[in-house]
Structures are given as structure tokens and as C-alpha cells.
């Protein structure tokens, strides 16, 4: 019997001091359906421990004091907005419960999820990515409305309260799922339902988006045109990042007529400013035919070498393996193979979106395709996914993927993981583990790892 999410949601609403119906469209259509009603409560009251940043807890006291000074009418307005905010958190909590169930099912002999663990971990990653984007959009719109409607209370206090509630709600979700499992209420037979729910939710999340209404499409076009105009303006002033962005858009024909020659020339100008990302992208592109010319490895080595000399790790990795690179596949061919689920095509397509090679740079598309490849066990995709997630503050997921890649011998992941353990900000500080992974990376030929070991006195 699965956890009653309805009961959990009621608890969250009570913690928020009551809830009103949200007027914004729900985002739960991207989520696995909530579980069935739970059996009657056990005689002993369950205990769930949630760890929250002490600073947030302290600010929560200030928030309650401020609310206590408001009139009943003002409190009612604020209460309505807090209920709407909680509606944006609840789907994340549902997904957190499903993620816990996925972990439980991995150990169930013969369970559908245990047979295809990487696939379901990948699906969870895609769903989290979709939710993160939707949450950001909905919460920004909701906050803008709240600021206009609640000038009577400090906005920072309310922001901190919402962050507190988000942490509390997600912590309760995971804690309740763990308690449910510990009490034996999650049966082996529930794994098939969890697998189906994940597959169904994944299918919805990755389905083609419906075409926007004419007015919405016009607004989107206007916003895109304004963004392109700003990029052009910055590029004309010599901003190397803007020059690089405009160059990739010209090469791919994104938002403007395709002009590979102009894009290539502009990218060269960006690289000539000494901007390492432009040097890296130019060097990588010269190993292919995306600039409309025969690949030129010597020029590629030159630009990759300049980027690597500035500490660009990706350039260093490509430079190390440049003589083993295969002829580059066309974008259309890559898309077709990726759509069929071929892991190497998914990885290459994700990498192109990540770097803006022949397409407009798109972190969401990059993560989508790299997660698909990682879900099939592609070690390099796991490594790239790890860095993307950590940079997006999805630390726990990122470290998990980084560890997978490190265990498969990806030296960059071994080096990065060692650094995390040495630094102690993302994971608990552990010099023994740092040394272990530095040695693994050094054995794989990573000169940075060898240097780190020397600095630690562990050559």
C-alpha cells in the first residue's frame, strides 16, 4: 500500500496556516499520480525529523512576528498567496516520494524498476528538470502578483518564509515516504505501479508542446526579437560572449537567416579577444564540417591549446583525444538517431546543445538529451550531467551521477569528485576520499590530479 499523498498534502496545508485554491494552472500533469489512500493510522503517532537551515528557522520567527502585526484582512490576502505558493511545491513533494519508491524498488527482487534502474533514474532526472523550469516560471509570476498585493509586509521576510516552507514540505515528503516504508506499508507489488507511473509521467513530460495561440506566439516572437537585438548590440560593442552567441545563431540559423560564413568570421573575432569559451568552441568546430569547410585539426589544436592554457578543462580533454575523433555526423542524422534512443547520438546531441555547436545553446535541451544518454549508462554523459546539475544547485543528483562516472573511469569526474571531497562545501569533507579519487584520476593520466597530490604531500 502506497503512502497517502492526500494526507501528506493536508499536513502541509495545515503548516501553511490554511490554504485557498490556486488560480494558476496546476503542473501536476507532469507527475506520477498520487498513491492510493493509506490504511487506518497506527496507534503510535509517526515521527518525522526534518533538518532545515538554522538561519531560515530564525527568519521564520521574524516572519511570524510581522504577520502578527497585520490586520485580519491583510493576513487573509497573504494567506491566499502562501497557499498558492505551496501548490507549486506540492508536485515536487510528490516526485520526491516517487523517487524514494524508486530507491526501494531497486532492492526488490524481480521488480520492474530493479531490472532497468538506469532508465528510471534518467526519467526521474528529466522530470525534476521539467519541474524546476515550471517552478521557476510559476513562482516568479506569483511573486510579482504578491508584491503588488502585499505592500504592507517586507518582501524579503515573505521570500524567506516561502523558502522555509519549500524545505519543510520536501523534507516531510521524503521523511513520510521513509517512515511508510519502514513500517512495511510499501509492498513489493507496488513497484510495478511505480514503474508505470514513472513511464506515464515521462511520456507526458517529453511529449511535443502544443502550438501557442496566435497572441501568445506573437508575444514569444517579440521577446525573442528583443533578446536577439540586445545580443547584437552587445556584440557590436565587442562583448566576446555576445559575439560568440551571435556567431552560433548565425551558423545554426536560429532567430535569423543562416549565414555560416559570417558566423565563422565572428566566432574567430571572439576567439581573438582571448575569450577561452570562444577559443574552445572554435577549436571544437574546426574538428568538424559545421563551418562549411573541411575539418582542420591543426587549426583546431591551436585554438584548443589556447583555451586549455587558460584552464578550460573541456578544451584540454578534447585536445588530448583529438587524433582519435571520428568524422562529425550531420545534425539531422544525430536528431533522427537520438529520437530512436541511440545513446551515442543522445550524448552528441546533448553536447551540441550544451556548447551551441551548430544549434542555439540550450541548457534545457542539453540536459534532456544528456540525461537520456546517461540513463543508458553512457559514462561521458553521466559526467556532463553531473556538472550541469551541480551548477544548477541540484547537488545531490549531480554528485550521484559524478560518482557513477568516476566509478566507470572518467578521469574528469574522478578529479572533480576529489575536489568536492577536499573542499567539503558540497559533500562532507573527507581528505582520504579526495586522495583516493585524485590517485584514480592521476593513474588515468590527469596532470591536474598529479599536481593536487603533490600539493597534498601524497605523490
Q: Which residue ranges make up each domain of the chain?
A: 5-205, 223-324
pLDDT digits (tens, 9 = 90+) for 83-98: 888 888 888 777 777 7
Burial annotation 359-395 (CB, 10 A radius, 16+ → b, else e): bebbeebbbbbbbbbbbbebbbbbbbbbbbbbeeebe
The residue behind cell 552528441 is 348
Query: What does the block give as the cell for 351?
Result: 553536447
H and E: helices and strands count for the chain:
21, 0
Q: What is the mean pLDDT of the chain?
A: 76
Question: Closest Cα partner for 445 from 324, 274, 320?
Answer: 320
Is residue 328 over pLDDT 50?
yes
Residue 266 pLDDT more than 60? yes
Q: Can you give the C-alpha Rg of the chain in angstroms?
A: 25
Give the residue among 120, 170, 164 at the shortest CA–CA distance from 9.
170
The 10 Å Cβ neighbour count of residue 203 is 10
Reading the block at residue 410, the C-alpha cell is 572518467
Q: Mean pLDDT: which of 66-80, 106-120, 181-195, 304-318 is highest?
A: 66-80
Judged by average pLDDT, the poorest of 46-50, 183-187, 404-408 is 46-50
Cβ atoms within 10 A of the Cβ of 273, count? 14
Half-sphere exposure of 245 (CA within 13 A, CB side): 18
Mean pLDDT of 412-422: 89
Q: What is the pLDDT of residues 98-114, one digit of tens each?
A: 777 777 775 554 445 55
pLDDT at 4: 41
Output DSSP code: residue 330: P
Please give the pLDDT value at position 209.
Answer: 52
The span from the CA of 319 to the CA of 302, in Å, is: 9
Cα separation, 381 vs 364, whole angstroms: 14
Question: pLDDT > 70: what percent of the chain?
Answer: 77
Q: Is the pLDDT of residue 7 over 90?
A: no
What value does the mean pLDDT take over residues 364-369?
Answer: 87
Answer for the pair 384, 372: CB distance below 8 angstroms, yes or no.
no
Q: What is the DSSP letter of 447?
A: H
Q: What is the pLDDT of residue 190?
A: 67
**Cell 516552507, residue?**
165
Alpha helix positions (H), 69-210: 72-106, 112-115, 117-149, 155-182, 190-205
Residue 313 backbone zone (phi > 0: left; psi -120 to 50: alpha; other: beta) = alpha
CA–CA separation, 421 and 62 (whole Å): 35
Average pLDDT of the segment spanning 174-203 = 71
Say which DSSP state 208 is in: P
Residue 5 above 60 pLDDT? no
Q: Look up cell 517512515; give the residue.
A: 179
CA-based nearest residue to 368, from 130, 92, 187: 130
pLDDT at 217 over 70: no
Q: Dihedral angle at the C-alpha atoms of 216, 217, 222, 223, nearest 10 degrees?
A: 70
pTM of the full predicted structure?
0.46
Cβ distance 163 to 56 under 8 Å?
A: yes
Q: Which CATH class is domain 223-324?
A: mainly alpha
Return the sign of the alpha-carbon dihedral for residues 261, 263, 265, 268: negative
Closest to 352 (Cα-Cα) out of 400, 287, 272: 287
CB contact at 8 A, 328 and 287: yes
Residue predicted with more confidence, 131 or 162: 162
Nine-digit cell at 134?
Answer: 515550471
Contact 385, 370 (CB under 8 A): yes
- In terms of Cβ atoms closer than 10 Å to its own Cβ (0-12, 13-18, 19+), residue 400 is middle
Question: Is 169's pLDDT higher than 90?
Answer: no
- Name the least confident of 156-170, 212-226, 354-368: 212-226
Helix or strand run (H / E) with residue 434: helix 431-443
The length of the chain is 459
Range among 182-191, 337-346, 444-453 rated most confident: 337-346
Report whether pLDDT(268) > 90. Answer: yes
Average pLDDT over residues 137-149: 84
Residue 400 has, within 13 A of its CA and on its CB side, a CA count of 13
Amino acid at each position: 500500500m502506497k503512502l497517502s499523498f492526500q494526507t501528506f498534502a493536508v499536513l502541509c496545508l495545515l503548516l501553511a496556516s490554511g490554504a485557498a485554491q490556486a488560480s494558476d494552472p496546476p503542473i501536476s500533469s507532469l507527475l506520477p499520480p498520487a498513491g492510493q489512500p493509506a490504511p487506518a493510522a497506527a496507534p503510535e503517532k509517526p515521527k518525522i525529523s526534518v533538518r532545515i537551515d538554522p538561519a531560515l528557522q530564525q527568519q521564520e520567527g521574524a516572519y511570524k512576528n510581522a504577520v502578527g502585526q497585520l490586520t485580519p484582512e491583510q493576513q487573509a490576502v497573504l494567506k491566499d498567496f502562501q497557499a498558492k505558493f505551496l501548490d507549486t511545491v506540492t508536485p515536487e513533494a510528490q516526485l520526491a516520494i516517487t523517487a524514494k519508491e524508486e530507491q526501494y524498488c531497486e532492492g526488490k527482487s524481480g521488480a520492474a524498476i530493479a531490472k532497468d534502474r538506469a532508465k528510471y533514474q534518467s526519467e526521474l532526472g528529466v522530470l525534476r528538470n521539467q519541474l524546476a523550469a515550471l517552478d521557476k516560471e510559476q513562482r516568479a509570476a506569483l511573486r510579482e502578483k504578491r508584491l503588488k498585493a502585499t505592500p504592507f509586509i517586507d518582501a524579503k521576510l515573505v521570500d524567506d518564509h516561502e523558502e522555509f516552507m519549500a524545505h519543510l514540505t520536501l523534507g516531510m515528503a521524503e521523511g513520510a515516504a521513509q517512515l511508510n516504508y519502514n513500517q512495511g506499508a510499501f509492498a513489493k507489488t507496488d513497484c510495478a505501479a511505480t514503474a508505470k507511473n514513472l513511464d506515464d509521467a515521462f511520456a507526458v513530460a517529453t511529449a511535443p508542446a502544443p502550438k501557442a495561440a496566435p497572441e501568445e506566439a506573437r508575444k514569444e516572437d517579440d521577446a525573442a526579437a528583443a533578446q536577439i537585438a540586445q545580443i547584437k548590440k552587445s556584440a557590436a560593442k565587442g562583448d566576446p560572449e555576445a559575439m560568440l552567441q551571435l556567431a552560433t545563431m548565425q551558423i545554426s540559423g536560429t532567430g535569423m537567416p543562416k549565414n555560416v560564413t559570417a558566423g565563422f568570421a565572428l566566432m574567430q573575432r571572439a576567439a581573438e579577444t582571448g575569450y577561452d569559451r570562444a577559443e574552445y568552441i572554435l577549436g571544437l568546430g574546426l574538428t568538424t564540417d559545421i563551418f562549411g569547410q573541411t575539418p582542420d585539426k591543426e587549426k583546431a589544436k591551436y585554438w584548443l591549446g589556447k583555451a586549455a592554457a587558460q584552464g578550460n578543462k573541456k578544451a584540454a580533454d578534447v585536445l588530448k583525444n583529438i587524433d582519435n575523433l571520428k568524422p562529425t555526423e550531420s545534425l539531422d542524422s544525430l536528431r533522427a538517431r537520438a529520437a530512436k534512443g541511440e545513446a551515442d547520438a543522445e550524448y552528441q546531441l546533448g553536447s551540441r546543445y550544451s556548447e551551441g555547436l551548430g544549434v542555439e545553446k540550450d541548457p534545457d535541451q542539453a540536459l534532456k538529451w544528456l540525461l537520456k544518454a546517461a540513463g543508458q549508462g553512457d559514462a561521458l554523459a553521466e559526467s556532463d550531467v553531473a556538472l550541469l546539475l551541480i551548477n544548477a544547485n541540484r547537488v545531490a543528483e549531480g554528485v550521484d551521477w559524478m560518482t557513477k562516472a568516476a566509478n566507470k573511469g572518467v578521469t574528469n569526474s574522478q578529479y572533480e569528485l576529489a575536489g568536492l571531497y577536499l573542499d567539503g562545501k558540497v559533500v562532507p569533507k573527507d581528505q582520504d576520499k579526495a586522495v583516493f579519487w585524485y590517485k584514480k584520476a592521476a593513474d588515468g593520466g590527469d596532470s591536474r590530479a598529479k599536481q593536487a597530490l603533490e600539493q597534498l604531500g601524497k605523490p
